[in-house]
Amino acid sequence: MKEDYFLPVFYVSGGKFCSGEGEDEDEDGLSPALPFIGVACSTRHQRVVSLNLTGKIPESLGDLPQLRYLVLHHNQLSGKIPASLGRCITLEKLDLAHNKLEGNLPHGWASFPNLQFYFNISSNFLQGSLLEVSKMVMVQAIDVSHNNFSGEILAPLSNCIELQYLNLSWNSFDGAIPASLKKLKNLQDIDLSNNNLSGAIPMDLQEMIMLQHINLSSNKLIGEVPKGGAFGVVDESAFLGNVGLCGSWIKLPSCSSSKHKQGSISKKVILPIVIGTTIFIMSFILVIFYMRHKKENTLELNIGPRIISFDELVDATGGFDQTNLLGVGSFGSVYRGILNDGTNIAVKVLNLEDENVLQSFNRECNVLKRVRHRNVIKIISTCSTSDFKALILPFMSNGSLERLLYPEGGDECRLKLNDRLRIAKEIAQGMEYLHHHCFVQVIHCDLKPNNVLLGDDVTPCIADFGIAKIIFGNSIDSLTFTSSLKGSIGYIAPEYGMGGNISTKGDVYSYGILLLELLTRRRPTDDIFVEGITLSKWASMNFPSRLTEVVDKNLLINVKENDIPLVLECLAQSIQVGLICTRELPQQCPNMMEVVKRLEKISSSFLGTPRDFQFPIDISPFLESTSGPKNTTGDSSSTS
């Protein structure tokens, strides 16, 4: 089954489609077939995404000067990368991984000034040096693994100041690891394994405070493994296959001056390094002791651009006064505060008496510092000492989606249909980013209305990543919910209850429940759901014949007679999306890209429809054709 990507301006799928404004479209939003080899579309096109393509990448893609996303991974593309891509100066994301591309990187083609998300050309047959790659000064992730690149790892890579993820593994790089990599202050993950690197590991790399994951295995490195920074938390597997490395503290051979030589490194070089390292460690210990004594923020994870001390938080929250208390949960308490510069903040103070809270705190920090999306909560900073830990988040004036759906005092929900659909679509876009477009895949594991916060303009932001999972490659394959079922009752995917693997489809199920709740205004824990009846089953049992009994009555109040068919049709299609997301078998559920495509289609079809366009008053034919639980397999775009 082909997997669709909804892209607002330029769309390619299955290797045979090109679509844009002004073209004739079929019922699926695709234009008549155009050969991919001949693609040469207008400057309005912003994205190219495709699957199952063969042949060469056409030079004509260079005629898209406003192209932002080019995603052609997991195809059968061959030949060389066209130099014409160098004309796409607005390109922000480039993914050509898992193809059969060959040859050198074209000279001058890769100096994209706006490439800021990721550059991925892994798993091809490319060769040569990385000179062109080193010019991408704003890129956040570079993956050239599983190719035939050779030569030294270029020192100019340190010019990529925004780089957070670097994977050069499974190539033929030789020479030493450049010490200049320490300039990459934001680097969090580096994989140089399975190359021909030699010499000592630069001691300067242990000064990289953001670095968390290192893999230098299967090279020809020699000398002692550094102990500071990220080197102090990795195991010996990160250094295996380097017969000249030593370090008994990570189960490598013990370092001895009589047994382990370090090539051309003389004592004149070693002695200053040892002295300098000792001074650095002693200074670091003294600084930590002083900062803990003063209860200043150590910023263990160095997340935000600003450092906020404990004393500043005390002032901002009025001494964590109860009048500023926003809420209390198992993790701790959340307080509202105002910084000296007038910034409104929410301070999430952790309850350190719970031994699981620290792990949750670290996990949430690890997620939030990686993501950048308008529908995912941003993090301002952290405050972390030995006896106090807090996340500093922007204050969301409209609270949670839960509070908007169920106001205090039993008041009716005032969210109109267009507001609910916009919120649903933007939540889906945030989840799509976490699952498919963030350079590390994030599975939220606890998506529900209470974990969606809304700002001044009621823009939803996904929050609370305390039990989220981060996936590097296939590192999460062995993790299941068997040992500890986590999440919130009513939103947990059925497969988790049976010990199934953690996957993005679990989040899709939770989103489907959230969408149904948003439209029906019934919690999945409502008293009417007994004896195996869930919110999803209840909705499907009443859909589509009793649609008006399923949806929130507030959505049908004060609707003009001429608008009733439009509203009902819009609700029917939206409910159907929720039902498709909550199918019992995860392989029958869509992914979040397909969900976003469906919701944007609904939004543009109904909310953007001119008011003088008349739908037939009798909508029963539409309701009969809208697939309920008996007919959901007939939609080709709903399964993956």
CA quadruple 538, 544, 546, 552: dihedral, nearest 10: 70
**Which residue do the tokens 């007038």 mark?**
342
Per DSSP, helices labelled H in 433-557 are 494-497, 504-520, 535-541, 547-550
Residue 38 bridge partners (DSSP): none
- Which segments within 351-388 are labelled E, that is strand? 381-384
Residues annotated within the binding site for ATP are 348
From 143, 191, 204, 446, the catalytic residue: 446
Tokens 């919110």 belong to which residue? Answer: 535
Contact 349, 330 (CB under 8 A): no
Contact between 10 and 48 (Cβ < 8 Å): yes
b vs e for 550-567, b when ≥16 Cβ sit within 10 Å of the residue's Cβ? bbbeebeeeeeeeeebbb
In angstroms, rounded to a whole number, what is the distance separating the alpha carbons of residues 210 and 164? 9
Distance, CA of 575 to CA of 634 (rounded, Å): 17
Residues 6+ apart with CB under 8 A from 274: none
To the query of whether residue 457 is one of the catalytic residues in this protein, the response is no
* Residue whose entry in the numeric block shows the structure tokens 């106001």: 407
Burial of 499 (0-12, 13-18, 19+ CB in 10 A): exposed
Could you tell me the end-to-end alpha-carbon distance of the chain, in angstroms, rounded to an integer? 7
Which two three-digit tokens encode residue 432? Answer: 């799509």
Whole-angstrom distance, CA of residue 38 vs CA of residue 80: 17
Distance of CA 13 to the CA centre of its chain: 23
Is there a contact between 26 and 61 (Cβ–Cβ < 8 Å)?
Answer: no
Query: Can you tell me the distance from the alpha carbon of 304 to that of 209, in angstroms, rounded to the nearest whole number?
Result: 13
Q: What's the token pair of residue 196?
A: 């021909």
| Residue 400: CA count within 13 A, CB half-sphere | 17
Bind-site residues: 348
Residues with Cβ within 8 Å of residue 24, at least 6 apart in sequence: 31, 32
Going by C-alpha positions, the residue among 44, 43, 41 that lies closest to residue 18 is: 41
Q: Which residues have a catalytic role annotated? A: 446
